[in-house]
Amino acid sequence: MAEPQERAGGRAAASPHRRPHSRARDLERYAGLFAARTRVMRSSAMRDLMAITSRPEIISLAGGLPDTSTFPAASFAAQMTRIAQESAAQALQYGPTEGFEETKDCIRAVMAAEGMQPDPEDLIVTTGGQQAIDLITKTLVDPGDPVICEGPTYPGAVPVFCAYEADVHQVATDDDGMRIDELEELLDRLAAEGRRPKFIYSVPSFQNPAGVTLSGERRRRLVEIAREREVLVVEDNPYGLLRYGGEPEEPLYKLDGGDYVIYIGTFSKILSPGIRLGWLCAPPPVMEKVVLGKQASDLCSSTLTQYFVREYFAEGNWRRYIAEVTAIYRERRDAMLEALEAHFPRQARWTRPDGGLFVWATLPDYIDTGDLLAKALRENVAFVPGSAAYTDGRGSHSMRLNFSGVTVEEIREGIRRIGEVVGEQVELYETLTHKQPPSASAARPEAAGSEEGRPDGGTVLPLRRREE
Amino acid sequence: MKVAVLKGGRSLERQVSLRSGARVEDALRSLGHEVIALDVGADLVRELRERPDVAFVALHGPDGEDGTAQELLEILDIPYTGPGIAACMRCMDKVLAKHELRAAGIPTPDWVAFNQTAFRDLGAGDALGDIEDRLGFPLVIKPVGQGSSLGVRFAASAGEVPEALVAAFSYDDRVLLERHVAGRELAVSLLDGEPLPVVEAVPREEDRYDYEARYEIGRTEFTCPAPLDADEVAAVERVARETWRALGLTAFARVDMMLGDDGPQVLEVNAIPGLTDTSLLPMAAEAGGLSFEALVERVLELAAPVRA
């Protein structure tokens, strides 16, 4: 019998100042008070497993971290010193809920780099892109309202949608991003029930977690659909400027002109996630409610870090820094794709991102990546099991692999180790089911093709198969 | 007393262990003991040179529950809580435990155990049909040396067996295929060989075959003392005591069993059961009138210098 566990994250760190632990009876008393929306999808066992991935001896491809080690410390020191000397009182004070005009100028510069020219009145500075997702959902979604997103979707959006009790529908993705034909079918189905989604959430460029990019044709169609059906699209674009290959696609916001597309951006991947600054661009009626929501949440985002952004952009090197990290990430992406070719069995397939931070790999449908993580942890390597990117239990044969926060050497070794444990499972399964062992034959095993298009497998990406 | 609390470590049950450890530390402090909290790692032996009077072992899973940490503590001559080395080894290895139980005439569900080599090098896969005929469906498939519900799967039919085996082998090199016994799920905690009130776990119907989600508060109801009649209590307690003797347990332990039509059958035994806010041993102790502090004090008293 397993130990029953709390559903909320337990306090793990021992501090002598911690309040003594509550007893089971107290927990039960609190349990009766929790709102239904606090129910989370992920099992506590899986949460405990993920907590182990941060141990120092583990090569973690599970993170989503940009590499902040290359940011010039001297420049950081100079900027913060200048703020302390010239604007200490203001930088330590509350600021406007919408954010400083100077911050908005920096945001407009970033958006202009992708061809967008938002009205400053349509902009609000948020505490990271994550708060932007939260504010939009808070503003638009009543319990039970349909929300559409990609399958797989950004794992960090899942708890937000769940917290507001949205009825989440996920549309399959392929190498060209969200399947617009499936989206239209879903919209028709909802319409037949007299329902309309509150919004369609998408990460169109270098998607987290799948790494795929919505094609130009699909972008134009998505924007048309939004207009035809008067449905809002939430475009989350944290990685647009982190491109390592291919041609840039136009943001949905630019194609639409800002009528039906709400835009989310962030400084996290192009500057620093530690400053917790992102933004949201929305039409005035939506913005009005979002501002009220943000007031209720945190009054304003950090004035201190907004001052830092202002100083940093005034220096004029921000695009050069993006070019620097892009070069580093490109090398790491290449290393990961090479390592996957070298070490993953031929039954596996994966995406080849032109940008962003992630590769999405899909294994045969008899391998559960949650169980696989336990095996991988014994080899001191970690990844994110794919089920975290779904709200309905799909994705259990896939995994998200991060290449931005680890060195090339770690990527090679990490992928080698994962490839080894996957290979063992494939071999075992084939032995059990009397399939030919992979080494004995060049024939393509059935398993490689059979999961394609499975309705329940979460492996609906027709990913490129490894060249043999 | 100066008490070192051993917790955490590298096992997959690290988080549960950290919660157990934290709660034990609180209790020890409120009892007036000096506490050294040790998240066990490569520097454990060096840290134990601080010479605690006793080590409180709050580790779960491999390294902590399988006798390894206990072996070290004996070498360093530090008294420790919980069962000794041999008992830990017998409990952590579910197959060894079942052999001991069967030898002692204690009912435990029929099983077959294999390591990965048997399938790879000896063609054990060809015997799967015979195994399935013998044990019937549904089958329970579990890793031999994993202390929690991780990797435990039901297989309702032959088609589900290979996938369940692949899952179980993710957690250990040996797996156990066990006949599924229908009945009531009971946990009998023992303190110094004496059974505490019995805990019954009642999963929600929809979670009946979902082991992972099974023991979460809110998805499973725990009742203590379990609503059993006097004969049932007597039978369950007798089997728990016999199990205690058969496995050579000392200090404390928790015996998990199924109470079916043919009486209780022992599934597995935990040598170092969880001690978190929601764990079953403290729940049973409390139902028996023993506060968590009193339980911790009693467990400390039972720590003996040398066992083996």
What is this structure's pTM? 0.86
Output the pLDDT for position B278: 83
Asked if B240 reaches chain A (Cβ–Cβ under 8 Å), the answer is no
Please answer whether residues B73 and B49 qualify as being in contact, where contact means their C-beta atoms are separated by less than 8 angstroms: no
Helices (H), A213-262: 216-229, 252-256
Q: Strand pairing partners for A168?
A: A147
Asked if B174 reaches chain A (Cβ–Cβ under 8 Å), the answer is no
Q: Which residue has the tokens 């009971």?
A: B186
Q: Tell me the HSE value of A454 on the side-chain side, using a 13 A CA sphere.
A: 19
Task: Tell me how far apart the alpha carbons of residues B294 and A128 are, in angstroms, rounded to a whole number.
Answer: 48
Give the one of A24, A47, A371 whose C-beta lies nearest to B170's C-beta: A371
Helices (H), A44-150: 44-52, 73-91, 101-112, 128-140
Closest-CA residue to A384 (of A32, A49, A103): A49
Output the pLDDT for position A38: 65
Chain B nearest C-alpha distance from A169 (Å)? 22
Asked if A462 reaches chain B (Cβ–Cβ under 8 Å), the answer is no
Task: Tell me how far apart the alpha carbons of residues A218 and B3 are, in angstroms, rounded to a whole number.
Answer: 65
Asked if A52 reaches chain B (Cβ–Cβ under 8 Å), the answer is yes
Angstrom distances, CA of residue B24 to CA of A3, A332, B215, B300: 16, 45, 22, 11
Asked if B287 reaches chain A (Cβ–Cβ under 8 Å), the answer is no
Crossing angle, helix B280-287 and helix B292-301, to 10 degrees?
100
Give the H or E element holding residue A436: none
Give the one of A2, A425, A429 whose C-beta lies nearest to B148's C-beta: A2
Asked if B15 reaches chain A (Cβ–Cβ under 8 Å), the answer is yes
DSSP state of B120: H
Instruction: Give burial (CB, 10 Å; 0-12/13-18/19+) of A94.
Output: exposed
Chain B nearest C-alpha distance from A452 (Å)? 18
Give the one of B19, B170, B220 whose C-beta lies nearest to A12's C-beta: B19
DSSP, collapsed to helix, strand or coil, labels residue A155 as: coil
Angstrom distances, CA of residue A157 to CA of A131, A136, A369, A391, B98: 10, 11, 20, 10, 46
Residues of A in contact with B61 (CB under 8 A): none
Between positions 300 and 319 of A, the ones with CB within 8 A of B are none
Give the one of B13, B217, B292 whose C-beta lies nearest to A7's C-beta: B217
Instruction: Give burial (CB, 10 Å; 0-12/13-18/19+) of A105.
Output: middle
Q: Strand pairing partners for B35?
A: B3
Between positions 354 and 393 of A, the ones with CB within 8 A of B are 366-368, 371-372, 374-375, 377
Output the pLDDT for position B89: 93
**Token code pair at residue B141:** 């498939």
Residues of B in contact with A5 (CB under 8 A): 16, 215-217, 276, 278
Angstrom distances, CA of residue B201 to CA of A3, A48, A72, B30: 11, 22, 57, 31
Task: Tell me how far apart the alpha carbons of residues B37 and B8 are, in angstroms, rounded to a whole number.
Answer: 10
Give the one of A26, A44, A372 whose C-beta lies nearest to B216's C-beta: A44
Between positions 251 and 280 of B, the ones with CB within 8 A of A are 254, 256, 267-268, 270, 273-274, 276-280
Residues of A in contact with B163 (CB under 8 A): 366, 368, 429
Residues of A in contact with B274 (CB under 8 A): 3
Q: Which residue has the tokens 């503590």?
A: B73
Instruction: Give burial (CB, 10 Å; 0-12/13-18/19+) of A72.
Output: exposed
Output the pLDDT for position B145: 85
DSSP, collapsed to helix, strand or coil, labels residue A71 as: coil
Q: Name, in order, each residue with C-beta under 8 angstroms of B92's C-beta and a sequence gap of 6 or more.
A: B62, B65, B66, B67, B145, B147, B271
Cis ω on the peptide bond leading into residue A118 (within 30° of 0)? no
Per DSSP bridges, beta strands B54-57 and B2-7 are parallel
A7:B125 CB<8 A: no
Instruction: Give burial (CB, 10 Å; 0-12/13-18/19+) of B47.
Output: middle
Asked if A428 reaches chain B (Cβ–Cβ under 8 Å), the answer is yes
- DSSP string for A348-406: -EE---SBSSEEEEE--TT--HHHHHHHHHHTTEE-EEGGGG-SSS--TTEEEEE-SSS
Asked if B178 reaches chain A (Cβ–Cβ under 8 Å), the answer is no
Closest-CA residue to A417 (of A468, A348, A342, A334): A342
Task: Tell me how far apart the alpha carbons of residues B148 and B164 are, in angstroms, rounded to a whole number.
Answer: 16
Between positions 111 and 170 of B, the ones with CB within 8 A of A are 116, 119-120, 125, 128, 148-152, 161-163, 165-167, 169-170
Between positions 240 and 259 of A, the ones with CB within 8 A of B are none
Task: Tell me how far apart the alpha carbons of residues A26 and A246 are, in angstroms, rounded to a whole number.
Answer: 57
Chain B nearest C-alpha distance from A53 (Å)? 10
Chain B nearest C-alpha distance from A430 (Å)? 9
Please answer whether residues B55 and B4 qualify as being in contact, where contact means their C-beta atoms are separated by less than 8 angstroms: yes
Q: Dihedral, CA atoms, A85, A87, A90, A95, nearest 10 degrees?
A: -130
Task: Tell me how far apart the alpha carbons of residues A77 and A72 are, in angstroms, rounded to a whole number.
Answer: 9
Task: Tell me how far apart the alpha carbons of residues B10 and A57 are, in angstroms, rounded to a whole number.
Answer: 10
Chain A nearest C-alpha distance from B13 (Å)? 7
**Token code pair at residue A248:** 């840039």
For residue A43, give the chain B residue with the closest CA. B213
Task: Tell me how far apart the alpha carbons of residues B61 and B106 are, in angstroms, rounded to a whole number.
Answer: 24
Task: Tell me how far apart the alpha carbons of residues A370 and A156 are, in angstroms, rounded to a whole number.
Answer: 18
Report ipTM (2 d.p.): 0.86
User: For residue A69, how many other CB atoms are within 10 A of its CB?
Assistant: 9
Asked if B283 reaches chain A (Cβ–Cβ under 8 Å), the answer is yes
Task: Tell me how far apart the alpha carbons of residues A41 and A162 are, in angstroms, rounded to a whole number.
Answer: 8
Output the pLDDT for position A452: 39
DSSP, collapsed to helix, strand or coil, labels residue A111 as: helix
B125:A432 CB<8 A: yes
A4:B279 CB<8 A: yes
- Buried-state track A141-150, b at ≥16 Cβ within 10 A, e below 16: beeebbbbbb
User: For residue A281, how many other CB atoms are within 10 A of its CB?
Assistant: 25
Crossing angle, helix B94-103 and helix B85-92, to 10 degrees?
100
Residues of B in contact with A11 (CB under 8 A): 19, 22
Q: Strand pairing partners for A169?
A: A148
Closest-CA residue to B157 (of B141, B181, B174, B173): B141
Asked if A36 reaches chain B (Cβ–Cβ under 8 Å), the answer is no
B26:A7 CB<8 A: no
Q: Strand pairing partners for B140?
A: B154, B178
Low-confidence ranges of chain B (pLDDT < 50): 215, 306-308
Q: Tell me the HSE value of B177 on the side-chain side, using a 13 A CA sphere.
A: 30
**Token code pair at residue B273:** 């059961």
DSSP state of A426: H
B167:A371 CB<8 A: yes
For chain A of 468 residues, list the mean pLDDT of each consecutive stretch of 10.
Answer: 49 49 56 65 64 86 90 91 95 96 98 96 97 97 96 92 93 97 97 96 97 97 97 97 96 96 97 96 95 96 97 94 96 98 95 97 95 93 93 92 96 98 93 64 37 37 39
Closest-CA residue to B108 (of B76, B150, B140): B140
Helices (H), B76-196: 85-92, 94-103, 116-121, 128-135, 161-168
Angstrom distances, CA of residue B307 to CA of B53, B57, B73, B250: 16, 15, 11, 10
Dihedral angle sign, alpha carbons of residues A214, A217, A223, A229: negative
Which residues of B are designated catalytic? 13, 148, 215, 254, 256, 268, 270, 274
Task: Tell me how far apart the alpha carbons of residues B186 and A39 are, in angstroms, rounded to a whole number.
Answer: 27
DSSP state of A120: G
3-state percent helix, strand, coil for chain A, nearest multiple of 5: 45, 15, 45
Output the pLDDT for position A352: 96
Tally C-beta pairs within 8 A across A and B.
168
Phi-psi region of A285 (alpha: psi -120 to 50; beta: other; left: phi over 0): alpha
Q: Which residue has the tokens 């009998």?
A: B188
